[in-house]
Structure 1
Amino acid sequence: MKKNRGRIIFISSFIVMLLLAGLGFLRFGHYKVVVVRENAETEEHTEHEREQHIGKISEVHNEDIDKEESDQHTPGELVKINDLQRKKLDIKLGTAGPGKLLTTIDLPGEIVLDADHLAHIVPLLPGVVREVKKRLGQTVHQGDVMAVIESRELADAKAAYLASSERVALAQATFTREEQLWQKKINAKQEYLDAKNSLSEAKIEHRSTVQKLLFFGFSEALIKDFQKHPDKSLTRYVITAPIDGTVVQKHITLGEKVSDDTAIFTIADLSHVWVDLSVPQKDLVSIKIGQKTHISLGFGTPDAEGNISYVSPIADKNTRTALARVVLPNPDRRWRPGLFVKARISMGELQLPLVIPKEAIQRLGNENVVFVETKGGYDPKHVSLGRSDGSSVEILSGLHAGERYVARGGFELKAIMMTRDMGAHAGHGH
């Protein structure tokens, strides 16, 4: 009996264990099947279903936002400010309507020296440099001594002048004596005529030597001074500045030999410069003398205004461009020859149906907007832009004639709008 009773207990325990195992299998097996089935269904979702799912989440999130902040504006809605804020922001309104745009042509250019006020100093005779009085970049005035050259050719010219002066004086004395003797019938007429011819020849030779010295740059007063001081150095050649200006080139050093075909100084009057513009073939018909031109150098240099003073009658056969020139005042010397500039030439005005200031256009994301006045505040309306002259913009769509818009202060409204939206997102980030 005891043995049978133990067997019964063992069999019962085994059955209970089987039942428990079966229940566990069913439980955990069902869970596993559910997971696999749900994953399979998730993989079979379409993109549309995903978007709907995300949309529902967004709707729920937005509903939460609306419930929590029903008194705040969401991005893209009106911007509301009170009168005090409007005054502080200096909001200025405008009325949308027709306007004019300046039509312009943009051209590249280069600043060059004014060749009408430029002097290349070339010695008129060769020699050796004994003194250099001026340095590169120095301001000079007409008549200032630039350098002193010792020249043998000048010595020969001065000597010839002094000799011819003596011969003229001697011939003049001989002629006067022979004329008196002939008038007194003491000498023959032929002797008188010979003396007269000799005087004429001496004067011709003398004039030739004077002309040579004038060619070398000596004044008549200085030439006459040679006779008063015949012992002064005959070789000293003083080179002076022919114009007022600045020494922009210097090719002379002490002791070197200079020739009569090389510039040793270049003096430029920098109070005015030229701006040479390259005009392409397609724009040549539009460029006229007198047109107003805006010159821009950039890099912090203030812009300048000038007028077209010259248009070349011929074009470059290689580039097919023609030269147009602007004379530009340069009192403070900021327009340095050799620099490149941009030139904007005014062509006239273009009347358009709807034009507003460029300042009124603001950028929100990838869109251009204009803040339009409404009863509730300022509404950022998307607009399509047309042509622009840099200060005004043509509006193609999004704004209608007669609408009141923010002409000045749009940037401040945009900042308020962005700050509000950032605050709204930050407030719901928890």
Structure 2
Amino acid sequence: MINDSSRKRKFKYRSMGVIALLTAAAVLASACSAPGAKGAATVQLAPRTIKTEDIKKQKISNPIEQVADVAAGTTLDVVAKANGEVTEVLKNRGEYVQKGDVLFVLDNKDALSNKRKSELSLRSAQESLQQAKDNKVNNRKDLADNVTRSQTALTNAQQDYNKTRNDYDAGLVVQHQVDQVKQALDNAQMNLDAARSKLSAFDNSDSISSILTQAESATLALDDANRSLENYEIKAPSSGILTDFNVVVGQSVNAAAGKVGQVQQIDPIKIKTELSETNYQLVKGKQELVYYNPDQPDKKGTAKISYLAPIMSAATKTYTLELEVANADHKLQPGTRFMVQLTTETEEKVVAIPTLSVIREESDTFVFVKQGDQYSKRKVKLGRINGEYQEVLEGVKDGENLVVTGQNTLKDGQKVDAAASAAPSATPEAKK
């Protein structure tokens, strides 16, 4: 019973204390709010001072980069143009070869035999051709000599005829003798005409054309045999790294089977990547880009853009980019990965403003710029953010005087002096 009485008295005293405290607070509040009441305290907040600073270019981010693959400048297939058994292998897979180097050799016994036969055929044709030429010269000489002899005979017959006619006029010979001499003259003329016709016909004929054709055919056959023999030595189609090459001695190679290896050209070498629409716009119009090995970020190089796809791939929805890099020391190898900088350090220095200077009104953004004796409200288009600064794409430019604090108290076109007088300093004071 005693404990219950004690608990009731403690609860009663606590309740009375709380009520007294609430009553005192209510009286104090009434006193402070009453007009003219003594001891009332007033607090007035001062507007922020208007401050400006010149807009400057800031580094908004590091250069935009993209992973790219190192690939061979050109890849050419190694193909056999002849069938046969491999007798010798001179180069190995992964080895650097020069254009024209013999990679492996096929058994060429049959090709050598065909070449020998072609050489013999050509020699026989050439001998026949020479003999035909000699015969032609000799035959023409005989025909020409016959014309000369006929000409001489005609001259002599003409002289005999003239003398006989003179003798006939002098009564020394009879008509019968004149007729005989005249007949001899006519025969001499016909012999000359016949000789000349034979010579002309010989000159207009081509007695060696068929033999000449045979000789030319034999020459072509020998050329074919030599080229065929060359096909038994399979050579590198270009300079580069020999890959996909697994030929061994004793292996049978068939020309119809296709490639037996590849040569990847690595000087120059290519750096290739696929660009999104956004990154394509960053590269479009440029002539060269910076690249580097991610394992050696301090060693950067510049490469010429050898190809930039003008249209997007329908399959990948990307644009192909290729850089051409000189690689005389062969340090760059196909299959490795490099980084390509799509933008430069200079490009990443952009017009930027403090984020706190921006006024947001619904979906629009504005800033105030001090122009002469007034403040101008500008609508701006913002871009990337880096710390306390944000990129400005449109609206203001480098060197303009930007309001960085107090902009929320300004109106478009407000005079500088008016803005300054509208922002007096004030301090809280207690009136007693």
Query: TM-score normalised to the size of structure 1?
Result: 0.49
Which structure is higher in RCO with an 8 Å CA cutoff and minimum separation 6? Answer: 2
Structure number with larger C-alpha Rg: 2
Query: TM-score normalised to the size of structure 2?
Result: 0.49
